Amino acid sequence: MNGEINLLTLLSLIVAIVAIVKLRSVLGRRSSDDEARIEQRRREAQMQKTAQAQADKVVALPRREREAEVADTSVSVAEVEARIKSFAGEDSALAARLMDILRLDTKFDPEQFLRGARQAYEMIVTAFAEGNRRMLRDLLSADVLDSFSRAIAEREQRGQVIDQSFVGINKADILEAEVSPKGIASVTVRFVSQLISATRDKAGNVIDGDEHRIKDVTDIWTFSRDISTKDARRNVNWKLVGTQAPN
């Protein structure tokens, strides 16, 4: 009796094992379609991970074009007129000429202009010292660019270089403003800045300036821009059209 039970139990176990092995062989086998789907899911997961990593590095840019135009209209002409009168102080002639610019260009603001002029001044002074004609081309009128380029070429022919550090602008004031009959706006600014500047010869010896001393510099520059028509006013860039030494 015990022998029969043992034999039956053994046979049952054998049958169960065979069934399990066959079932595993069927369930465990991957077709080529299965492999393709798995690989596709793996690629998609990797792409999502990469996209997320890139998204984390994205830096939002300032609003431009249409959004900027809407933002610009938030300041009314009346507010700018009040700013101009306050800006000019007792100089009624300067206030009147700045108002002439505002009448043609309703987005003109003397304070914003001065901020841009300060940036342009530093860029131009630095570009001239470095001999960067490409940058100067975007900031100077044709006549001034020609004058600056000749000075750079003469310096290069002599084998001289300028070592310069721009310390900062202490003060920037609007001295004059006008609009020509052709609608060309011009604004003259006096800059008081500080530089560390030294000119070296071919051998590297300092022949002008002082590489260890901060020098106070005063420049009077005139910037110009065409505001005669709506199309002209689309170009908001002012260019340096003249320089003069202080009295």
Does residue 122 form part of some domain? Answer: yes
Does residue 165 form part of some domain? Answer: yes
Above 80 in pLDDT, residue 172? yes
Does residue 106 form part of some domain? Answer: yes
What is the Rg, in whole angstroms, of the alpha carbon atoms belonging to the chain? 37
Question: Predicted confidence band at 245 (pLDDT cuts at 50, 70, 90)?
Answer: confident
Name the pTM for this structure: 0.69
Does residue 34 form part of some domain? Answer: no
pLDDT at residue 56, rounded to an integer: 38
Does residue 150 form part of some domain? Answer: yes
Q: What is the CATH number of the domain that holds 144?
A: 3.10.450.240
Secondary structure letter of residue 213 according to DSSP: S
3-state secondary structure 146-203: HHHHHHHHHHHHCCCEEEEEEEEEEEEEEEEEEECCCCEEEEEEEEEEEEEEEEECCC
Does residue 157 form part of some domain? Answer: yes
Poorest-confidence range of 75-84, 140-149, 226-235?
75-84
Residues making up the chain, counted from first to last: 247
Q: What total number of domains does the chain contain?
A: 1
Q: What is the pLDDT of residues 109-154, one digit of tens each?
A: 999 999 999 999 999 999 999 999 999 999 999 999 999 999 999 9
pLDDT at residue 200, rounded to an integer: 95
Does residue 42 form part of some domain? Answer: no
CA 242 vs CA 45, 140, 173, 179, 186: distances in Å: 61, 9, 16, 16, 10
First-to-last CA distance in the chain? Answer: 130
Domain that holds residue 107: 66-244
Above 50 in pLDDT, residue 244? yes
Does residue 132 form part of some domain? Answer: yes
